[in-house]
A and B are shown apart, each in its own frame.
Chain A
Amino acid sequence: MPRLQSLVSSLTLALVLFPLGVSLVPVRGEDWLEFRGLGGASRVEQGSLPVELSAADVRWSTNLPGRGLSGVLVVGERAFVTTSDGPTQDRLHLICLSTATGEILWDRQVWATGRTMCHSKTSVAAPTPCSDGTRVYAIFSSNDLVCFDLDGNLQWLRGITYDYPNVSNSLGMASSLLVTGGTVIVPVENDSESYSLGLDSATGANRWRLDRPKGANWTSPVVLAPGLVALQSKSGIDAIRVSDGSTVWQYAEGADTVSSSALADGVLYIPSSGITALTLDPADPAKEPKQAWRNNQLSPSTASCAVAGNAIYCINGAGVLTAGDRADGKRRWQLRLQGPYSGTPVTDGRHLWAVNEAGLVQVVELGEEEGKVVATLDLGDEILCSPAAASGALYVRSNTKIHKIGK
């Protein structure tokens, strides 16, 4: 989506959705408001991020109180990140920092009301929060969900496992939140009591609760259009109207339960039999989409694919970056990067910024015929999150720090 269109639609969303009494801060096009950014495409404006990188480009690094691998949000001049700490990782933090200085502006804590057990590689602070520009919504692996305004005033909270005691995953939950149409989409899908919920973004009350396929699911939803989201599971994709939770169409050919779909320019790229591309009806995205192509040579692993320009970029479990043509899905080229990766790369269509688990930022020049690593920056810090990108800077976090790289 062009930047102007993004800005206009975001402004419209902000103006329509938020009731009086909440300080109204327009969502800006350059904000990063959800896991993998707008549409989950992990896409930024061309030329907005630095290609040449050196240690001097690390503008600030701030110690975090607690661990986590959730992604960073950027809303105007504030960055938001979640952490957990304590002997059982049951102290849950939502932290607001100044994007200019890295100073922690506020830190709000709650205690976990659900189980905090998870695999040692992940964390209770695994899901990325989301924002509509006036509030920040954060969920944790314990299924505790909090909503604060940008100044740190608590708006509401929920304990999803407190409400539904078998909503949990002993390996850890990781699906990120989404907010659209005044509804917070809360995927808490697992082997047992498996739901996705739509909550009133103003009060946290249930608008709807859907029974979902039983099975561990770490994928995150994607906004298909205002008021319409895609929920991904092992069964495929369900397009859900956020006003009432009704299903408007289904793609039932299965999908991955780790890497998530991405939407770019009206096409949904699903990790299903490799990648399957569905073209939404531009006049009515609620209508059944058409399959554009499928290619099993595009095989994302933990990281999801990024989409920009005329290509889709996927990193597999061996750290091999594959570029696929968005027109027909055909593989253009491959490039072995230094992996492994947990986080989804960011791209502007000309370059791609990939941060591996060892904290090595690799900048790849994206050609028609090949890709080439043109710059690297070693952060010396384990990075498992998907980077955020806003106003010319990348934001990544580790179990101990958050870093700003760029302008």
Chain B
Amino acid sequence: MTFQGPLLARVRGRAMLLVGSLAGLMVQSALASPVSDALPAIRQVDHEGQGNAAAARAWKVLAAADASALPEILAAMDGANPLAANWLRAAIDGIVSKASGRLPVDALVAFLAETRHDPRGRRLAFDLVQGADPARAEQLLDGMIEDPSVELRRDAVAKVIARAGVLQAEGKKDEALVAYQQAFAASRTVGQIQTLAAAIRELGGAVDLARHFGFLTRWQVAGPFDNTGKEGFAAVLPPEKFFDLKATYDGKEGKVSWQAIETTDEYGMVNLNITYPPPPPPADAKPAEGGSKEGIKEVLAYAATEFESPLAGPAEIRIGTGNAWKVWVNGQPVFGRDEYHRGTEIDQYRMPVVLKKGPNQILIKLCQDEQRKPWTTEWEFQLRLCDEVGTAILPADGVATQERSQ
């Protein structure tokens, strides 16, 4: 099995969209405007500098264009790979810098209204409108609380939060709570969600963060296995070869088998130090270097769950962990990374996957290294399923559980 890069997979996943967009550009180029002619060269850039020389020539044409070309250049971001989008992005900077504020605001607003366009292009169109006509941009945000652009949605939600804050300051707690709850339901930005959760709770409301994010909380775990010298990361151990919840394996310290766990952490953090606590130290043991030892070291474990997907189609697995890890979906490797204790955050790693309707098996391997510093004891992960915007994909039956496969 080989691991596929998440961005590469994302590009492949958009292949059909790209073909369609290129066809559209070919039709446009029949009109023979210099901008239309230049766009295909930009869109053909790819990995390791492919197409850069031709793109540089085309870029000069785009950057020299009149501001009226902005909607067409923005539209060329639809289905473009991230590198091509950046060539287009920089060309727009060039156009705008010499436009002296004379931008086709109506055309940009019309572009923005079409949510089929690439979220990056739409956000950029909004920024251009905002620069030219701030009041109009502010007004546009009122209709964007469910926008497919995470950033536009974030700004729209921020307006609702501000309104709720005013209501709260005026003592209208019930109305403020409703506004906060509306904002919470719409928000897909981590910091904003956390702020909203605190505000709702302060007003006596309830929030379910794990559900809002779509964290998977029920797992079967097997371990600990040996990870001495970090060699377990690359080793292909039995749970990777054949998944069997009834199996027992040779672990690091003896036989190990699967056991069910459930995290109650509202951010879905699965702490394997709780499942596999270290043995109590001998009475005469010296303190560990730099602080107390709270976890076992040079080990790894597997966690598995079955997710009942309501639909077949594209999704994202998002993982946060400071440990080395690999993840598989339905037996297929998705990604892995052998980095230890450099920090963790929600949605640290985003990987496109395709779910089938019904049960989908998710397997994660989590490795712990040898370091003994206090900040190296963490052996934990959080994993969620969502769409590209970050909207949680909830299981068909409302619970992400391994129970049905037992």
Contacts A109-B93, A153-B60; is A170 near B322 (CB within 8 Å)? yes
Mark interface residues in A95-124 (1 if CB within 8 Å of B CB, else 0).
000000000001111110101010100000
Query: Which residues of B are found within 8 Å of A205, using beta-carbon distances?
Result: 48-49, 52
Which of B5, B48, B343 is packed against the most chain A CB atoms within 10 Å? B48
Query: Which residues of B are found within 8 Å of A115, using beta-carbon distances?
Result: 348-349
Contact assessment for A206 and B52 in the assembled complex, using a CB-CB cutoff below 8 Å: no
Query: Which residues of B are found within 8 Å of A86, using beta-carbon distances?
Result: 151
Is B87's beta carbon under 8 Å from chain A?
yes
Q: Which of B78-86, B174-182, B286-294, B380-388 faces chain A?
A: B78-86
Is B90's beta carbon under 8 Å from chain A?
yes
Contact assessment for A165 and B83 in the assembled complex, using a CB-CB cutoff below 8 Å: no
Q: Could you tell me the distance between the alpha carbons of A101 and B340 in the complex, rounded to whole angstroms?
A: 46
Residue of B nearest to A157 (CB): B86
A contact residues, range: 35 or more
Contact assessment for B93 and A170 in the assembled complex, using a CB-CB cutoff below 8 Å: no
* Option from B52, B338, B342 in Cβ contact (under 8 Å) with A170: B342
Query: Which residues of A are found within 8 Å of B97, using beta-carbon distances?
Result: 106-107, 152
Contacts A163-B47, A163-B48; is A154 near B335 (CB within 8 Å)? no
* Option from A154, A169, A203 in Cβ contact (under 8 Å) with B87: A154
Q: Could you tell me the distance between the alpha carbons of A117 and B346 in the complex, rounded to whole angstroms?
A: 10
Contact assessment for B49 and A171 in the assembled complex, using a CB-CB cutoff below 8 Å: no
Query: Which residues of B are found within 8 Å of A204, using beta-carbon distances?
Result: 49, 52
Which of A113, A164, A165, A199 is packed against the most chain B CB atoms within 10 Å? A165
Mark interface residues in B167-204 (1 if CB within 8 Å of A CB, else 0).
00000000000000000000001010000000000000
Is A233's beta carbon under 8 Å from chain B?
no
Contact assessment for B63 and A153 in the assembled complex, using a CB-CB cutoff below 8 Å: yes
Is A166's beta carbon under 8 Å from chain B?
yes
Is B265's beta carbon under 8 Å from chain A?
no
Within 8 A of A (CB), among B1-43: 5-8
Within 8 A of A (CB), among B334-351: 335, 337-340, 342-345, 348-349
Query: Which residues of A are found within 8 Å of B338, using beta-carbon distances?
Result: 166, 191-192, 214
Is B120's beta carbon under 8 Å from chain A?
yes
Contact assessment for B342 and A171 in the assembled complex, using a CB-CB cutoff below 8 Å: yes
A151: min CB distance to chain B, Å = 10
Query: Which residues of B are found within 8 Å of A152, using beta-carbon distances?
Result: 93-94, 97
Pairs A-B, 8 closest by C-beta atoms: A165-B5, A170-B342, A110-B86, A205-B49, A156-B52, A113-B82, A191-B339, A204-B49
Supply 19 further A-B pairs (C-beta < 8 A) apart from A87-B189, A169-B339: A108-B93, A109-B93, A110-B86, A110-B90, A113-B83, A115-B348, A117-B348, A146-B90, A154-B59, A154-B87, A154-B94, A158-B49, A166-B5, A191-B338, A191-B339, A192-B337, A204-B52, A205-B48, A205-B49
Residue pairs across A and B with Cβ atoms less than 8 A apart, 28 shown, are A86-B151, A87-B154, A106-B97, A108-B94, A109-B90, A111-B120, A115-B349, A117-B348, A119-B343, A144-B86, A146-B90, A153-B94, A156-B49, A156-B53, A156-B55, A157-B83, A157-B90, A158-B83, A161-B7, A163-B47, A164-B5, A169-B339, A169-B342, A192-B339, A203-B49, A203-B52, A204-B52, A205-B52
